[in-house]
Amino acid sequence: MRMRPPFAFTLLEMLVGMVVLGLLMMLLLSAVELSSRVFRSLNQKVDAFQDARFAFDLLTRNLSQATLNTFWRQDDPENPSRFMRESDLHFLVQPAGDRGLVPGSPGAGQAIFFQAPLGTTSQPESFGGLSSALNSLGYFVDFRAVPQPGITSSPAPFRYQLVQFKSPTEEMRAFSTRESGGMDWIDPTEHAKSIFPVAANVIALVLWPRRADGDPTTAPLTSDFRYDSRANATANPQPLTAHQLPPVVEVVMVAMDEESAERLTSGSRPPDAVRNALQGRFLSSAPDRIEADLVELEKALSAEGIRYRVFRTAVPLRESKWSES
C-alpha cells in the first residue's frame, strides 16, 4: 500500500478549501460594496446641501455685523421738548414679495435688509482702502432661472434660490431715503447688478427678530416677523423698534436636494408640492406657532418624498444697544 506524503492534500480537500475561500471572498466583497454604497450615499447627502450650508453661514456671518449707528437728537432744535433716537441707516424684515415692494417669492418666508461694515467696492482704486465702509445687504428666497455658463445653449432650469443683495459702498443709498423712511434703496430693478443667487433649492427663509435670551421683558418685538427700524420713528412716544437693532435674529432656512427639485419642477412655475407645503406657514411669530409650522412643513415635504434639510441658529447682533426707553 502506497503512503501519501505527510503534508499533501487530497483533491477533495483542495476543492473544499477553494469553496470556503470563495465564500469568504464573496462575503468580503459584499462588505466592501456595502461600505462603499453607504459612503457614497453619505457623500451625496453632504454634497446635496453643501451650497445651502455655505449660504447659511454667509448670511448669518454678515447679519451678525449689522449696524444702525443710532444716535440721539432733539425733536425740534428751536423749541426742543424731547430727545429721540435717530439713525441714517435702516434695518428691515418683511414678508418676501410683500405688496410688490419687497423682492422674493410670496410664501417663502421673509426678506431681510440691513447695512454692515464689509468694505466691498467696485472701485478699489478709489475706495479699496476703506475696509470698514458700509454696504447695504439683503437676503430673500426667490423662484427664478439658475444662471448658466455662457457656453451652454440649453434653457436655464428654474429653481427656488437664496438670493443676496449687496450694493457696493459707493452705491449705498440708505442715507438718501432717511427722511422719507422709504425702501427705495432695496429696489431690485435699480440694483440688478447687486443681486445674485448664492444657493439653489432653498425653499424658505424665516427671520424672527426677538429679544435676547434671559431678557425679563416678555413683550415680543414683533407678532408677524415684520420689523422696520424706520416705521413710525417720529411718533411720540417712539416705538421700541424705532432706530434700534433687535438684540437677536433667529434664522431658519429650509433647503431641498437637487434630485427632488428636478423631479418636481417643470418650466418656470414653482412646483405645487413646495407651494402647498409652504402655504399658510410662518405668518405668526409666536414661538409655539413657529415650532408648529416647522413640524407641519417637514411632514408635508416628507409626504411628497422630498429630501430636505433645516438649518437653524440664533444670531446675536453685536451692534445692538437695545434700550426700553
97: cell is 414679495
164-182 pLDDT tens trace: 999 888 887 777 666 655 6
- Cα–Cα distance list, 126 to 129, 130, 134, 136, 171 (Å): 8, 9, 15, 18, 13
- Gap between the Cα atoms of 240 and 285, Å rounded: 17
Grid look-up 408635508 returns 300
Between CA 233 and CA 308 the distance in angstroms is 40
Which of 65, 105, 150 lies closest to 270, judged by CA?
105
- Tens of pLDDT, residues 51-94: 999 999 999 999 999 999 999 988 887 888 888 999 999 999 99
Domain residue ranges in the chain: 16-48, 50-75+82-316
More confident residue, 320 or 191: 320
CB count in 10 Å sphere of residue 238: 19
The closest alpha carbon to 273, from 307, 310, 308, 301, belongs to: 301
Across the beta sheet with 110-116, the strand order is 195-200, 158-167, 135-145, 110-116, 92-95, 227-228
- Judging by DSSP bridges, how do beta strands 195-200 and 158-167 pair with one another? antiparallel
Q: Would you place residue 220 in the very low, low, confident or very high pLDDT band (cuts 50, 70, 90)?
A: very high
User: How far apart are alpha carbons 174 and 177 in whole angstroms?
Assistant: 6
pLDDT band for position 186 (cuts 50, 70, 90): confident
With helix as H, strand as E and coil as C, how does 268-304 read? CECCHHHHHHHCCCCCCCCHHHHHHHHHHHHHHHHHC
As a whole number of angstroms, the distance between CA 247 and CA 258 comes to 35
Residue 314 has pLDDT above 90, yes or no: yes
Residue 240 has pLDDT above 90, yes or no: yes
Q: What backbone phi and psi angles, to 5 degrees, belong to 301?
A: -65, -40
Mean pLDDT to the nearest integer, 267-276: 94
Inter-helix orientation angle 50-63/11-48, to 10°: 30
**pLDDT for 144:** 93
C-alpha span between 137 and 27 (Å, rounded): 57
Q: Is the pTM of this model over 0.85?
A: no
Q: How many helices (H) and strands (E) does the chain have?
A: 6, 11
Query: Average pLDDT in the 145-170 region?
Result: 84
pLDDT of residue 154: 72
Q: How far is CA 29 from the centre of its chain?
A: 42
Mean pLDDT for 226-246 is 93
Which pLDDT tens digit goes with each residue over 12-58? 777 777 888 888 888 887 777 676 555 555 544 556 799 999 999 99
Tell me the torsion sign for CA atoms 23, 25, 28, 34. Answer: negative
pLDDT tens digits, one per residue of 222-233? 999 999 999 999
